[in-house]
Amino acid sequence: MLATDYFSGFLLGLSLIFAIGSQNAFVLKQGLRREHVFLICLFCAVSDALLISAGVAGFGAVTARYPHVVDMAKIAGSLFLFGYGLLSLYTSITFSHALSADGQAVTSLKKALLLCFGFTWLNPHVYLDTLVLVGMVSTGAGSKLLFASGAVSASFFFFFALGYGARLLTPLFAKPKAWNILDALVGVLMLYLAWHLYQS
């Protein structure tokens, strides 16, 4: 179903982007300080959109020429998502962490965007998540356009929610238990997506 493709893309994008990292901490800090929040969130979301589109389109071009790659991608994607899901569930019950957004003070838009560029484009994990993983999972979708749209929508939703909701989220996620719950939810979503990709 086409609606399933959109929501699968949305859930995958949201699950991947939830990971605690320097980019999210930076967006959170900008939101707390109310400095260039809109442009920072827009930069992060547009960057994700470009990478996701490239991943889906590029993988599509490869599979058109080498059809057997689709089956290999489905297996590899399912195993990766399954492993990622189990790791998230394991983290949710064994680790205790709280988010820290401490870092260098930002006073100008230029400086903020340069830091944001580094957090986004110099992070090797972003290429694995968008170009490789999202590209692989998209091979199981009936509509790659809807799948990509769902993943892109998740990026826009998350970054703007994090940036503008920072003052509400920070007291909650200062508590380690909140991150444990979040890790558990991410784990469940990843396991569902692994099953969905395998079934397709």
pLDDT at 124: 67
For the chain, the domains span 2-199
- Residue 122 has a CB neighbour count (10 Å cut-off) of 9
Rg for the chain (alpha carbons), in Å? 17
Structure tokens at 45: 């979301």
Per-residue CA distances from 145 to 117, 142, 192 (Å): 26, 9, 21
pLDDT at 103: 46
Q: Which residues contact 13 (CB under 8 A, 6 or more apart)?
A: 48, 52, 134, 150, 151, 152, 153, 154, 155, 158
Q: pTM score, two decimals?
A: 0.75
What per-residue string of b and e applies to 25-36 under the rule 16 or more CB within 10 Å gives b? bbbbbbbeeebb
Helix axes 176-199, 166-173, angle to 10 degrees: 100
Quick check: 158 pLDDT over 90?
A: yes
When mean pLDDT is compared across 43-52, 81-90, 152-161, the lowest value belongs to: 81-90
Q: What is the 8-class DSSP label of residue 122?
A: T
Q: What is the 8-class DSSP label of residue 108?
A: S
Instruction: Please write the tens of the pLDDT for every residue from 57-91.
Output: 887 667 667 777 777 777 877 888 888 889 889 98
Instruction: Please write the tens of the pLDDT for every residue from 2-42.
Output: 688 999 999 999 988 886 567 887 898 888 788 899 999 99
Residue 112 CB-density burial (10 A; 0-12 exposed, 13-18 middle, 19+ buried): buried
Instruction: Please write the tens of the pLDDT for every residue from 135-152.
Output: 888 888 888 899 999 999
User: Where would I find the H helices in the chain?
Assistant: 2-17, 22-33, 37-65, 68-94, 109-121, 124-127, 135-138, 144-164, 166-173, 176-199
DSSP SS3 for 132: helix
